[in-house]
Structure 1
Amino acid sequence: MADTASAPTRPTLDTVAVATGDPEREQPWSELGLKADEYDRIKEILGRRPTSSELAMYSVMWSEHCSYKSSKVHLRQFGEIPQETSAGKMLAGIGENAGVLDIGQGYAVTFKVESHNHPSYVEPYQGAATGVGGIVRDILAMGARPVAVMDPLRFGPLDAADTHRVLPGIVAGVGGYGNCLGLPNIGGEAVFDPTYLGNPLVNALCVGVLRHEDLHLAKASGVGNLVVLYGARTGGDGIGGVSVLASETFDETGPAKRPSVQVGDPFMEKLLIECTLELFHANVVAGIQDLGGAGLSCATSELASAGDGGMHVHLDKVPLRDSTLAPEEILMSESQERMMAVVEPADIDDFLAICAKWDVEAAVIGEVTDTGRLEIDWHGERVVDVPPRTVAHDGPVYERPFARPQWQDQLQADAAESLPRPSTGDELRATLLQLVASPNLCDKSWITDQYDRYVQGNTVLSQPDDSGMIRVDEETNLGVSVATDCNGRFAKLDPYAGAQLALAEAYRNVATGGATPLAVSDCLNFGSPEDPDVMWQFAEACRGLKDACLELGVPVTGGNVSLYNQTGETAILPTPVVAVLGVIEDVRRRTPSSFQGAGERIVLLGRTREELSGSEWAHVVHGHLGGLPPKVDLRAERGLARLLADLVGIATSAHDLSDGGLAQALAEATLVSGIGARVTLEGDAFLALFTESAARAIVTVPDYELDELAALCARHGVPMAEIGTTGGTALEVDGQFSVPLDELRAAWTATLPAALG
Structure 2
Amino acid sequence: MSVDTVKRAGQTPDERMPFAELGMKQDEYDRVVAILGRRPTGSELAIYSVMWSEHCSYKSSKVHLRQFGTKAPKSEALLVGMGENAGVVDIGDGWAATFKIESHNHPSYVEPHQGAATGVGGIVRDIMSMGARPVAVMDSLRFGGLDQGDTRRVLPGVVEGISHYGNCLGLPNIGGEVVFDPCYIGNPLVNALCVGLLRKDQIKLATAPGPGNKVILFGARTGADGIGGASVLASATFEDESQAKRPAVQVGDPFMEKLLIECCLELYQADVVVGIQDLGAAGVSCATTELAAKGTGGMTVDLNLVPLRDPTLRPEEILMSESQERMMAVVTPGDIDAFLAICEKWDVPATVIGEVTDTGRLVMTWDGEVIVDIPPGTAADDGPVYERPFHEPLGQHDLNLDTPDSLERPSDLRTTLLQLLASANLSSREWVTSQYDRYVRGNTVLAQPADAGLLRVSEVMPGAEETTRGIALATDGNGRYAKLDPYAGAQLALSEAYRNVAVTGATPLAVTNCLNFGSPEDPEVMWQFAEAVRGLADACKTLGVPVTGGNVSFYNQTGTAAINPTPVVGVLGVIDDVAKRVRSGFPAAGLRVVLLGATYDEFGGSEWAHVAHDHLGGLPPRVNLEAERDLATVLTEAAKQGLLEGSHDLSDGGLGIALAEACLAQGVGATVSLPGGDAFVDLFSESTARALVCLKPEHFETLTDLCARLDVPCYGLGETGGDSLVVEGVLEATVTELRMSHEATLPGVFG
Native 8 Å contact 2:72 2:540 kept in 1: no
Between stretches 714-723 and 299-308, larger displacement belongs to: 714-723
Matches within 5 A, 1:616-695: 616-648=607-639, 649-681=642-674, 682-695=676-689
Query: 1:193-243 CA deviation, whole Å, 9 max, x = no partner?
Result: 011000000000000000012100000000000000000000000000134
Question: 2:277 pairs with 281, 284, 289, which one?
Answer: 289
Query: 1:343-401 CA deviation, whole Å, 9 max, x = no partner?
Result: 00000000000000000000000000011000000021011000000000100000000
Native 8 Å contact 1:81 1:556 kept in 2: no
The answer to whether 1:25 aligns with 2:15 is: yes
The answer to whether 1:109 aligns with 2:97 is: yes
Matches within 5 A, 1:688-707: 688-707=682-701
Match of 1:232 in 2: 220
Matches within 5 A, 1:311-350: 311-350=299-338
Match of 1:752 in 2: 746
Is the alpha carbon distance of 1:14 and 1:511 closer, same or farther for their aligned partners in structure 2, counting shifts above 3 Å?
A: farther
Question: 1:300 pairs with 279, 288, 295, which one?
Answer: 288
Match of 1:477 in 2: 468
Q: Could you tell me which amino acid in structure 2 is paired with residue 38 of structure 1?
A: E
Question: 2:549 pairs with 529, 535, 558, which one?
Answer: 558
Native 8 Å contact 2:6 2:41 kept in 1: yes
Shift of 1:12: 9.6
SS where residue 217 of structure 2 aligns?
Answer: strand
Between stretches 200-209 and 410-419, larger displacement belongs to: 410-419
Native 8 Å contact 2:671 2:728 kept in 1: yes
Shift of 1:417: 2.4
- Stretches of structure 1 that go unaligned for 5 or more consecutive residues are 1-10
SS where residue 48 of structure 1 aligns?
Answer: coil
SS where residue 243 of structure 2 aligns?
Answer: coil
Matches within 5 A, 1:44-63: 44-63=34-53
Shift of 1:15: 1.6
Match of 1:5 in 2: none
Match of 2:529 in 1: 538
Match of 1:517 in 2: 508
Shift of 1:13: 9.6
1 CA distance for matches of 2:696 and 2:299? 66
Native 8 Å contact 1:115 1:204 kept in 2: yes
Question: 1:170 pairs with 154, 158, 163, which one?
Answer: 158
1 CA distance for matches of 2:602 and 2:73? 34
Is the alpha carbon distance of 1:230 and 1:253 closer, same or farther for their aligned partners in structure 2, counting shifts above 3 Å?
A: closer
Native 8 Å contact 1:242 1:261 kept in 2: no
Match of 1:6 in 2: none
* Aligned residue pairs, count: 742
2 CA distance for matches of 1:12 and 1:417? 77
The answer to whether 1:715 aligns with 2:709 is: yes
Q: Could you tell me which amino acid in structure 1 is paired with residue 483 of structure 2?
A: K
Query: 1:92-129 CA deviation, whole Å, 9 max, x = no partner?
Result: 11000000011111001000000000111111000000
Q: Could you tell me which amino acid in structure 2 is paired with residue 621 of structure 1?
A: A
1 CA distance for matches of 2:343 and 2:695? 54
SS where residue 213 of structure 1 aligns?
Answer: coil
Matches within 5 A, 1:202-601: 202-253=190-241, 255-423=243-411, 427-473=412-458, 474-601=465-592
Query: 1:38-72 CA deviation, whole Å, 9 max, x = no partner?
Result: 01000010111100000011000000000000000
Shift of 1:476: 2.5
Match of 1:7 in 2: none
RMSD: 1.1
Shift of 1:647: 1.1
2 CA distance for matches of 1:515 and 1:251? 43
1 CA distance for matches of 2:72 and 2:409? 45
Shift of 1:253: 4.2
Native 8 Å contact 1:417 1:611 kept in 2: no
Native 8 Å contact 1:183 1:456 kept in 2: yes
2 CA distance for matches of 1:286 and 1:476? 29
1 CA distance for matches of 2:734 and 2:685? 23
Native 8 Å contact 2:72 2:547 kept in 1: no
Q: Could you tell me which amino acid in structure 1 is paired with residue 731 of structure 2?
A: F
Shift of 1:416: 1.0
Shift of 1:654: 1.0
Native 8 Å contact 1:417 1:610 kept in 2: no
The answer to whether 1:15 aligns with 2:5 is: yes
1 CA distance for matches of 2:322 and 2:695? 53
Matches within 5 A, 1:127-146: 127-146=115-134
Q: Could you tell me which amino acid in structure 2 is paired with residue 525 of structure 1?
A: N
Match of 1:730 in 2: 724
Native 8 Å contact 1:472 1:480 kept in 2: yes
Q: Could you tell me which amino acid in structure 1 is paired with residue 494 of structure 2?
A: L
Native 8 Å contact 2:127 2:194 kept in 1: yes
The answer to whether 1:185 aligns with 2:201 is: no
Q: What TM-score, normalized to structure 1?
A: 0.97
SS where residue 167 of structure 2 aligns?
Answer: helix
1 CA distance for matches of 2:187 and 2:4? 37
Native 8 Å contact 1:129 1:174 kept in 2: yes
SS where residue 272 of structure 1 aligns?
Answer: helix
Shift of 1:82: 3.9
1 CA distance for matches of 2:121 and 2:403? 43
1 CA distance for matches of 2:539 and 2:200? 29
State the identity %.
Answer: 68
Query: 1:517-565 CA deviation, whole Å, 9 max, x = no partner?
Result: 0000000000000000000000000000010001000000000000000
Q: Could you tell me which amino acid in structure 2 is paired with residue 553 of structure 1?
A: G
Match of 1:74 in 2: 64
Is the alpha carbon distance of 1:177 and 1:12 closer, same or farther for their aligned partners in structure 2, counting shifts above 3 Å?
A: farther
Native 8 Å contact 2:93 2:467 kept in 1: no
Q: What TM-score, normalized to structure 2?
A: 0.98
SS where residue 583 of structure 2 aligns?
Answer: coil
The answer to whether 1:37 aligns with 2:22 is: no
1 CA distance for matches of 2:429 and 2:402? 31
Shift of 1:418: 2.1
2 CA distance for matches of 1:368 and 1:253? 43
Native 8 Å contact 1:126 1:264 kept in 2: yes
SS where residue 218 of structure 1 aligns?
Answer: coil
Q: Could you tell me which amino acid in structure 2 is paired with residue 671 of structure 1?
A: L
1 CA distance for matches of 2:488 and 2:3? 54
Q: Could you tell me which amino acid in structure 2 is paired with residue 17 of structure 1?
A: K
1 CA distance for matches of 2:320 and 2:713? 57
2 CA distance for matches of 1:205 and 1:514? 21
2 CA distance for matches of 1:418 and 1:588? 48
Native 8 Å contact 2:109 2:154 kept in 1: yes
Shift of 1:252: 3.3
SS where residue 744 of structure 2 aligns?
Answer: helix
2 CA distance for matches of 1:560 and 1:221? 27
Shift of 1:254: 5.1
Q: Could you tell me which amino acid in structure 2 is paired with residue 34 of structure 1?
A: M
SS where residue 103 of structure 1 aligns?
Answer: strand
Shift of 1:244: 2.6
